[in-house]
Amino acid sequence: MHAPEPGPELPRLHVRPREGWVNDPNGLCRVDGTYHVFFQHNPYAPVHGDIHWGHASSTDLLTWTEHPPALVPQPGTPDAAGCWSGCVTDDAGTPTAVFTAVPGHAQEAGALLARSDRSLLTWTAGTSFVAGPPFVEGVEEVRDPFVVHVDGHRYVVQGAGSRHGRPSLLLWAADDLEHWVDLGPLLTDDDPVAAAVAGANLWECPNLVRLPDPAGGERWVLLVSLWRWVDEQHELAGVRYLVGDLQPDGPGLRFVATSGCVLDRGAAFYAPQVLPDGDRTLVWGWAWEVGRSEEQVRAAGWAGVLTFPRELYLEADGALGARPARELTSLRGEPAAPGAAIGTDAFELRCLGAGRLRLLEGDHEVFTLDVGGSAEVPTTVLVDGSIVEHFRGGQTRTERAYPTASTCWTVDVDPACLTLWPLALPAAAAS
């Protein structure tokens, strides 16, 4: 694949290779001071297929070094048809990928291990599933294993469900990562909060993490991405969070939800993964293409991008909030004077009043976004090429808009209520 030179629509500050397909963030980890972000990647075409694990690393969450693919499908192995989503965990000092391997069809997928040294550059995959089909009655597909530690024990949570059935999350004991023990479901849609908030046929990309409770102590937060089967086609229906408690359930655990809602209200957010990082929890999501035709995507040679890292937190009312990772302020240049047009394709807005961000092609409005804020609850918008990330009061929207050589960004707001920064890598990092 030889894509043309990138235009202004290609995000340059976010994680994604120059060419090919990108979807779910995987394997988020920090090893010996270096952040590693892996992601679903087809290096050969901007379509979902031949899925590898792409790999980028950073010491500051700003400057990313792209590495060769970490996991590569191999003929005649359990991952012959794709190395799908999963996580990376530390297994007695050995970085270990726990991921969905697809030998042929999705219904044949299971969980596979791959191990690396602490550079995370070269991986050796296992030759057999640690957990594979057949599964319990009512479960036709499983994927996206996520490792979590509870009270000194290691568990794996897997997304599960069936095209014409109900979703569930499977739970495995995995103190010995090579030998998993089936503990039954962690969650089903018999849970009334989960049923009301997260209706689906299959729950994908489960993430289970503890967050500080402003009222004291900690709460468990569960993220699930909604996979639905509609008119014999699959539909990705956004991401939900559930706040709740882990309770003993026989030899295993049961998640009992007390509240939940939509994680991101935009048109382009799916399959997030969290990374506990000291006193905070980071999250990245996948922003897919919205409003580009198949012909446009193939002509560009790329599709999909990961969001900027965000920090998750619980609000006083129990809602889950998100804000840009604190490091991102280092991308800001000198504040620019607000004017009729924004003369860059990467910028940050902070808005304290009513306003709209627009992308114009002459007099034609290609894209518009309400960026209204207030002194009490300001709005932050981060734009990088075609990805637009909106933050206000803990709520987020991830959108897509596609600048060209003949478009310009403009913001309609009282200049006294607006701060505008161009975004670029710090000079030392860029050199």
pLDDT band for position 427 (cuts 50, 70, 90): confident
Other beta carbons within 10 angstroms of residue 192's beta carbon come to: 9
pLDDT band for position 134 (cuts 50, 70, 90): confident
Report yes or no: 397 and 266 within 8 Å, Cβ to Cβ.
yes
% of the chain with per-residue pLDDT over 90:
93
Question: What's the pLDDT score for residue 337?
Answer: 79
20-325 and 332-430 share one CATH topology?
A: no
pLDDT band for position 137 (cuts 50, 70, 90): confident
Architecture of the 20-325 domain: 5 Propeller (2.115)
Secondary structure letter of residue 317 according to DSSP: T
Question: What's the pLDDT score for residue 340?
Answer: 65
Query: Mind listing the pLDDT tens digit for each residue in 141-197?
Result: 999 999 999 999 999 999 999 999 999 999 999 999 999 999 999 999 999 999 999
Question: What's the pLDDT score for residue 4?
Answer: 62
Query: Mind listing the pLDDT tens digit for each residue in 11-40?
Result: 999 999 999 999 999 999 999 999 999 999
By C-alpha distance, which of 178, 161, 184, 339 is closest to 255?
Answer: 184
pLDDT band for position 100 (cuts 50, 70, 90): very high
Average pLDDT, the chain: 95
Give the separation between CA 202 and CA 260, rounded to whole angstroms: 17
Secondary structure letter of residue 4 according to DSSP: P
Mean pLDDT along residues 294-317: 97
Can you give the residue ranges of every domain in the chain?
A: 20-325, 332-430
% of the chain with per-residue pLDDT over 70:
97
Query: Mind listing the pLDDT tens digit for each residue in 377-416?
Result: 999 999 999 999 999 999 999 999 999 999 999 999 999 9
Query: Mind listing the pLDDT tens digit for each residue in 326-359?
Result: 999 999 999 997 766 788 999 999 999 999 999 9
Question: What's the pLDDT score for residue 343?
Answer: 84
Whether residue 110 has pLDDT greater than 60: yes
Whether residue 429 has pLDDT greater than 80: no
Residue 67 has φ and ψ, to the nearest 5°, of -115, 165
Q: What is the 3-state secondary structure (H, E, C) of 102-166?
A: CCCCHHHCEEEEEEECCCCCCEEECCCCCECCCCCCCCCEEEEEEEEEECCEEEEEEEEECCCCC
Give the separation between CA 65 and CA 59, rounded to whole angstroms: 10
Our answer to whether residue 24 is catalytic in this structure is yes
Residue with more model confidence, 7 or 44: 44
Whether residue 428 has pLDDT greater than 70: no
Q: 332-430: what CATH class? A: mainly beta
